[in-house]
Amino acid sequence: MVRRAHAKRPVEEQEPVASIWDAQTFAIVGIFGLLLFWVAYFARDILVPITFAFVLNLLLQPAARSLNRLGLPKPLAALFTLLIFMALLLLLGASLAGPLSAWLAKAPESLPRLEAPAKSSSELPSPSPETLRQSRWPGRGSATFSLPTRAPS
C-alpha cells in the first residue's frame, strides 16, 4: 500500500468570533430581568397561591399515586392524601401550641435579658490617642486635611 503525503493547504484565517454577551445584550437581559421582577411583585397576589399549589402538588402527588395503584380511584386518593396532610398540619400545630404559648408568656421578662448584650456592644470604648496617631485614616492622627476656605464676597 502506498501512502501519499498530503500537501499542506494554507490555513484560512477566520474572523474572530464576537462574544454573545456584548454590552447591548447584557443591558437588554438586565432590563428584562428587572421588568420580570417588577411584574412578579405586582402579581404576587396571584403568583403566591399558584406557587403554593404547585409545590403541594409535587409534595403530595407520589402519595396519591401510590394510593391509586392500590386500587383507590384517583379523586378519592387525592382527597384522602389531602385529608391526611391537613391532619398532620393540625397535629403539628396542636403539639406546638403549648410550648409556643409558654414561650410567649415568658417573653416580656426575658426580653430585657436579650437586649442587654446588644446595648453593651454598642457602647464600645473609644480608641486611645496613641492609636489615633498611628492610624492612617484621613482626618485623624498625623495625617491632617483641611478644606480650602474662600473669603466672603
pLDDT tens for each residue of 38-90: 999 999 999 999 999 999 999 999 999 999 999 999 999 999 999 999 999 99
Average pLDDT over residues 107-130: 70
Q: What percent of the chain has pLDDT over 70?
A: 65
Q: Is residue 113 part of a domain?
A: no
* Residue 27 backbone phi and psi in degrees, to 5: -65, -40
Between these two residues, 82 and 112, which has the higher pLDDT value? 82
Q: Is residue 115 part of a domain?
A: no
Q: At 12, which amino acid appears?
A: E
pTM of the model: 0.48
Q: Is residue 123 part of a domain?
A: no
At 112, is the pLDDT very low, low, confident or very high (cuts 50, 70, 90)?
A: confident
Q: Is residue 9 part of a domain?
A: no
Q: Is residue 46 part of a domain?
A: yes
Q: Is residue 147 part of a domain?
A: no
At 115, is the pLDDT very low, low, confident or very high (cuts 50, 70, 90)?
A: confident
Q: Is residue 93 part of a domain?
A: yes
Containing domain of residue 58, as a range?
Answer: 24-108
* DSSP states along 55-103: HHHHHHHHHHHHHHHTT--HHHHHHHHHHHHHHHHHHHHHHHHHHHHHH
Q: Is residue 119 part of a domain?
A: no
Q: What is the mean pLDDT of the chain?
A: 81
At 132, is the pLDDT very low, low, confident or very high (cuts 50, 70, 90)?
A: low
In the chain, how many domains are there?
Answer: 1
Contact 78, 64 (CB under 8 A): yes
Q: At 148, which amino acid appears?
A: P
Q: Given this model, what pLDDT does residue 152 score?
A: 61
Q: What percent of the chain has pLDDT over 90?
A: 48
